A and B are shown apart, each in its own frame.
Chain A
Amino acid sequence: MVISLVITVILILVASLGGLLFGASYILDQSLSDPDVLVHPSLSGNDIVVTIYEGRRLSELMQLSLEIEGYAPVVKDVPSGAKEIVYSSVAVQITGTRNVGVRGIFTDGSVKLLKVLVLKFT
């Protein structure tokens, strides 16, 4: 009984997180005229390159977290003035289609989902 309750709670949490991640893309769409930071992930071989464009909180951006569906997030520092962050070899062996999210971690400790895209790895 307890085990099934725990499993149910975990399932609800996972579903909520998933909904939060991908539902947030809608909210992103609504606020893009004034984005926190505009970023774009693209696949190049086994690397994912996140290009950083512009945004009102660009100077506050400390780190970017790349989240590929089914894989643990990879966090990288964003040096001041960086135009792109390369996540080397994160796509090794990844095939098929997956959701990819990019979160920004800012100097005040806040975390914002900046981009969600469905990427076709093969």
Chain B
Amino acid sequence: MIRHKSIGVIGILLLLIFTSGCIISAQNTTQLEPVPAEQINSMDAALYPLTYLIAKDMEQACCLVGKTARELDGVPTDDPAVELTLLKLRRDIPFSFEAGLFDKNDTLIASTENLGKSIEIGVGKAPNHYTAEELKAAEPACIVSGYSMLLHGDNGFTFTTAVYDAQGNYNGTLRVGINTWSLFSGINEYLRNEYGYTIWVAQPDGLVIYDKDTDEIGRNLITDELYVSETLKDAVELILKKESGNSSYLFYDSTWVNSTQTNVVWDTVYPGYGMEWRLVLTDNVPAKTETETTATPTTEELKSFVEKAYVYAQTHTKEEALHAFNDQNGEFIDGELYIFAYDMDGTILALPYQPGLIGSNRWLMEDSSGVKILQRMIARAQQGGGCVNYMTANPDHQYAQEFKLSYVMPVDDTWFIGAGIYLQENPLSQNHYLSWTEHEDMTYQVRNMQYLAKKEGIESVIEMIKDPDSELQIEGLYPFAVTENGTDLADALKPELEGTNQLGMTNSLGMSIAREVISLAQAGGGWMYGLWGIPPENEEEYVLIYVEPIDVSVYVASLIILG
């Protein structure tokens, strides 16, 4: 909820700036052209409110972490107040992963990750060590770590602050993992859709911590071979050296084939003690085209195409099959359809149009709504196969983000294949996008249910879901709760489902939303799309769902209709 107050102001500011109309598109070129001052001014004017917004977000999040640390001072670890306090903190920072309390030896002693799949209390170790003196020097700010893999397996950074015992002696640390994708992708979508700009973010050591293209995140601008062009090296040097400025460089456009002039302006955000980020705004954005009435394969044709590849994979060696799937002139390319293949850990095995990516891992790849694309595909493949939805760049529409339906099948228990089609009739493909405030509202609502379930009991939360006037409700969102066995405990959108078992309920794509929700909750929670009958006519519409477990047997979620 941190950002809501600032959004209106920034929206109006950006609107005023852009109604003056001075955006000049990047030219396809092999030499750098001078950039008109008006364009630089226009880009600067778009960047500075965002720099302010991110800085404010970080400051407020850091304040919350500090305030929470003071609430935890002198509280014994086994006091139920510890878990409640951590859950409240996680709820109030919607772009956080998990919050945890560590002892003086950096061992985890309390955490919001309650299914314990990846973090073990008493065993898990914090990746960064800070001395009591370092933590004291940072106060009242938090120490902000560099971008790296966090304890629970995702990539991001952490806020760390000291916690003291009842006598005021240093007793350990409070740490909150921050999801950089969640922090920046909503802003990026807003910028891209409304103004035709996009952002990338880097640390001063050159590490890219956010880019619209997830394959670029985690690369180093100074050392990675992707960034070897002379103009780019010069620009990167300048960006990393100076706190703000403007520059231009030649870089691939979204096709990753042609080179184009990209103009950038940048500013610096200080997210907390010990870290700074370069926030770089670029004009290298593909235009989002209007819907065309081109013939798209049907879902049945898509399924048949994948089944043909499945038969091939079952009747040939894995090596032969992957060779055939990776052949750009082979039988597994048909118009917009092509076969992709992945290991069950997300490693790319076949991707005919991006052969350079084979062998890299996409387990953590998210779309702009936070849906972990490969994890959803793998979950579906492990059900024997079926349909999966996500947002991704459409090469036929200048790589604009569009809604995609893929059909996946497991070849065996170790790898799967699939293919996809773009759904142009979907609301997310019609120049609409989910605003980050709606996204944060959903996160808040679900995490609030987690918090309230611990504070007041699950029954209390169930009653609040049923009550349209309860404090839990947020306009346009529909909370629900389900058990590990698929029993609907409460459903704000369809109250009549209460008490029924939903495992067998499928949509027109053969997907059981309940089984998907349970699977996602048992994996620790997250985001998914589904096609769901909406009252009163029960007509199917696409929905976005955010799920979290309350404990091992009850899961809560919030749903928004994408329309």
Residue interface mask A91-106, B partner, CB < 8 A = 1 = 1110101001000000
Contacts of B307 on A, CB cut-off 8 Å? 51, 53
A43 CB within 8 Å of chain B: yes
B486 CB within 8 Å of chain A: yes
Q: Assuming the A-B contacts A35-B314, A122-B484, are A42 and B386 also in contact, with contact meaning beta carbons closer than 8 angstroms in the complex?
A: yes
Q: Are B486 and A122 in contact (CB under 8 A)?
A: yes
B410 CB within 8 Å of chain A: yes
Q: Assuming the A-B contacts A53-B307, A120-B382, are A43 and B316 also in contact, with contact meaning beta carbons closer than 8 angstroms in the complex?
A: no
A62 CB within 8 Å of chain B: no
Contact residue range for chain B?
20 to 34
A32 to B315, CA, bound (A): 5
A93 to B514, CA, bound (A): 12
Q: Assuming the A-B contacts A33-B316, A54-B311, are A92 and B503 also in contact, with contact meaning beta carbons closer than 8 angstroms in the complex?
A: yes
A117 to B384, CA, bound (A): 8
A25 to B486, CA, bound (A): 31
Q: Are A45 and B379 in contact (CB under 8 A)?
A: no
Contacts of A120 on B, CB cut-off 8 Å? 379, 382-383, 519
Q: Are B503 and A46 in contact (CB under 8 A)?
A: yes
A119 CB within 8 Å of chain B: yes
Q: Assuming the A-B contacts A45-B505, A53-B311, A95-B485, are A122 and B384 also in contact, with contact meaning beta carbons closer than 8 angstroms in the complex?
A: no
Q: Are B384 and A119 in contact (CB under 8 A)?
A: yes
Contacts of A40 on B, CB cut-off 8 Å? 310, 384-385, 409
Q: Assuming the A-B contacts A44-B510, A91-B503, A121-B383, are A32 and B314 also in contact, with contact meaning beta carbons closer than 8 angstroms in the complex?
A: yes
Contacts of A97 on B, CB cut-off 8 Å? 382
A65 to B484, CA, bound (A): 28
Q: Assuming the A-B contacts A89-B504, A117-B410, are A122 and B518 also in contact, with contact meaning beta carbons closer than 8 angstroms in the complex?
A: yes
B515 CB within 8 Å of chain A: yes
Residue interface mask B397-428, A partner, CB < 8 A = 1 = 00000000000011011000000000000000
Considering only residues 68-122 of chain A, those with a C-beta below 8 Å from chain B are 89, 91-93, 95, 97, 100, 117-122
Least Cβ distance of B198 to chain A in Å?
37
Least Cβ distance of A34 to chain B in Å?
8
Residue of B nearest to A39 (CB): B314
Out of B310, B409, B510, B515, name the residue touching A122 (CB < 8 Å).
B515
Residue of B nearest to A50 (CB): B384
B114 CB within 8 Å of chain A: no
Contacts of B383 on A, CB cut-off 8 Å? 42-43, 119-121
Least Cβ distance of A7 to chain B in Å?
32
Residue interface mask A1-40, B partner, CB < 8 A = 1 = 0000000000000000000000000000100111100101
Out of B310, B413, B484, B504, name the residue touching A45 (CB < 8 Å).
B504
Least Cβ distance of A75 to chain B in Å?
19
A51 to B386, CA, bound (A): 13
B347 CB within 8 Å of chain A: no
B506 CB within 8 Å of chain A: yes
A18 to B503, CA, bound (A): 28
- Chain A interface residue count, CB cutoff 8 Å, equals 31
Contacts of A89 on B, CB cut-off 8 Å? 504
Out of B382, B412, B485, name the residue touching A29 (CB < 8 Å).
B412
Q: Are B512 and A45 in contact (CB under 8 A)?
A: yes
A43 to B408, CA, bound (A): 13
Out of A38, A45, A47, A117, name the residue touching B311 (CB < 8 Å).
A38
Q: Are B315 and A38 in contact (CB under 8 A)?
A: yes
B522 CB within 8 Å of chain A: yes
A95 to B383, CA, bound (A): 11
Least Cβ distance of B311 to chain A in Å?
5
Q: Are B515 and A43 in contact (CB under 8 A)?
A: yes
Q: Are B503 and A45 in contact (CB under 8 A)?
A: yes
Contacts of B379 on A, CB cut-off 8 Å? 120
Least Cβ distance of A74 to chain B in Å?
16
Least Cβ distance of A84 to chain B in Å?
11
Contacts of A91 on B, CB cut-off 8 Å? 503-504
A96 to B497, CA, bound (A): 23
Contacts of B310 on A, CB cut-off 8 Å? 40, 53
Q: Are A117 and B412 in contact (CB under 8 A)?
A: yes
A100 to B484, CA, bound (A): 21
A32 to B316, CA, bound (A): 7
Considering only residues 348-382 of chain B, those with a C-beta below 8 Å from chain A are 379, 382
Least Cβ distance of A12 to chain B in Å?
26
Least Cβ distance of B482 to chain A in Å?
10
Least Cβ distance of A39 to chain B in Å?
10
Least Cβ distance of A73 to chain B in Å?
18
Q: Are B519 and A122 in contact (CB under 8 A)?
A: yes
Contacts of A53 on B, CB cut-off 8 Å? 307, 310-311, 314
Contacts of A33 on B, CB cut-off 8 Å? 315-316
Residue interface mask B292-334, A partner, CB < 8 A = 1 = 0000000000000001001100111000000000000000000
Least Cβ distance of A94 to chain B in Å?
8
Contacts of B385 on A, CB cut-off 8 Å? 40, 42
Contacts of A43 on B, CB cut-off 8 Å? 383-384, 386, 512, 515
Out of B315, B386, B409, name the residue touching A35 (CB < 8 Å).
B315
Contacts of B511 on A, CB cut-off 8 Å? 44
Out of A47, A118, A122, name the residue touching B522 (CB < 8 Å).
A122
Least Cβ distance of B304 to chain A in Å?
11
Contacts of B413 on A, CB cut-off 8 Å? 117-118
Least Cβ distance of B448 to chain A in Å?
25
Give the top 8 A-B pairs by smallest Cβ distance, nearest first. A42-B384, A46-B504, A45-B506, A120-B382, A122-B518, A44-B510, A43-B383, A45-B504
Selected A-B contacts with CB under 8 Å, 19 pairs: A35-B315, A38-B314, A38-B315, A42-B383, A43-B383, A44-B386, A45-B503, A46-B504, A47-B504, A48-B384, A51-B307, A53-B307, A54-B311, A92-B503, A92-B504, A93-B501, A117-B412, A117-B413, A122-B503
Besides A42-B383, A91-B504, A120-B519, 14 more A-B contacts (Cβ < 8 Å) are: A32-B315, A38-B314, A38-B315, A40-B385, A43-B386, A44-B506, A44-B510, A45-B515, A53-B310, A95-B485, A121-B383, A121-B515, A122-B486, A122-B515
